[in-house]
Structure 1
């Protein structure tokens, strides 16, 4: 699918003209649609499915941006670069810039915004937290239900990793892209973190990597 240029003059994007462009990323879990403008990413839309094409959460070279007639703005280029790294070279995501966001939910002051930013900043690759734990991190231990609402409202999934928020029982819980996709993402991160934590094979002239931090917040 080619990128599209759509005039966007709507107060929900901050009250000023906003020309929205669209990019499609072909990922190991299907087509991911990204929209945004020069100011930042508006939304990431995940494929919703009941069964994933493969049960194995392996990295894949099949992660490409569909060519478009026009060059996407910088935030969309950064977004696609980050997502490609997430799927194909997870170790490199920490060195890549997180794209700017231009969505009203992430601009106005609210508990939802605080929860989403807390999740982005505090819950790292390969980690998982419960709704209650995230509520505590965001400063209100009694707001687990509100955290659930914030996860459902998240316009930037994967980058703002709502898939890392699970039930206290350990069950993965619901997800906008479907529970199989959530479980695939969690499995993908667990597998890649284990690979990064594993010592190098002896005799190859490389030093063992240090163990990574604990994979969950308690």
Structure 2
């Protein structure tokens, strides 16, 4: 397993990767942690840097996420939510042909190992209000504001 740290406006992130692709991005990384980089972590580092400086809107780094078939299906649907756009859990459930599986979609969204690149932050409540986020609601609000997205803060 390889890893590389990146300092961002939302704090330190730890990029974890295999030889195949990014396995995880972890929030609140220890900036003193040792690093073992490879071409995947370096490409992800560069693309995240471009995202945070406003240059990149679409990621092309390879992913190597582990999860159930349903989780993988939800994560692929999340990748279709474009920069600056939002959707609801219901929208994703309908998109994966499981309109009654809104809670399961929420659970899969919460287990997304590669936040930002697989943009689970773009899923908000049907009312337009922010819902939970692994990096915290303030981080979610920052990411959405960075992308020029409208949402209800309270």
With the length of structure 1 as denominator, give the TM-score of the two structures. 0.62
In the aligned structure 1, how far is the partner of 2:141 from the partner of 2:147?
10
1:127 to 85, 88, 108: 85
| CA distance in 2: counterparts of 1:89 and 1:183, whole angstroms | 16
1:190 aligned to which of 145, 148, 152: 148
Would you say how many aligned residue pairs link Structure 1 and Structure 2? 149
Map 1:110-149 to 2 at 5 A.
110-120=69-79, 122-149=80-107
Question: Whole-Å Cα distance in 1 between the matches of residues 129 and 54 of structure 2?
Answer: 27
Q: Structure 2: 5+ residue runs without aligned partners? A: none
- The CA distance in 1 between the partners of 2:26 and 2:40, in whole Å, is 16
The answer to whether structure 1 residue 159 and structure 2 residue 117 are counterparts is yes
Contact 2:110 2:133 in 1 (8 A): yes
Aligned mate of 2:38, from 55, 70, 73: 73
Which contiguous aligned blocks of 4+ residues in structure 1 show a shift greater than 3 angstroms?
Answer: none
Cα shift at 1:89: 2.8
Q: Which residue does the alignment assign to 2:5? A: 24
Distance change (3 Å), C-alpha of 1:40 and 1:69: closer
Do the aligned residues in 1 keep the contact of 2:57 with 2:83 (CA within 8 Å)?
A: no
Q: Identify which of 98, 106, 110 aligns with 2:60.
A: 98
Shift of 1:87: 0.5
TM-superposed CA distance for 1:69, in Å, is 7.2
Change in Cα spacing, 1:177 to 1:24, as seen in structure 2 (3 Å) is: same
Q: CA deviation at 1:93?
A: 3.7
Shift of 1:39: 1.6
| Cα 1:186–1:86 shift into 2, 3 Å | same
Contact 1:43 1:156 in 2 (8 A): yes
- Residue 25 of structure 1 aligns to a residue whose secondary structure is strand
**Consecutive unaligned residues in structure 1, runs of 5 or more:** 1-19, 49-65, 192-214
The structure that has the greater radius of gyration is 1
> What per-residue deviation string (whole Å, max 9, x for no partner) do you get for residues 51-107 of structure 1?
xxxxxxxxxxxxxxx9x776x2221112111111111033x344xx522222321xx
Counterpart in 2 of 1:198?
A: none
Q: Deviations over 1:103-125 (max 9, x none)?
A: 321xx5x11110101111x2000
Larger relative strand fraction: 1
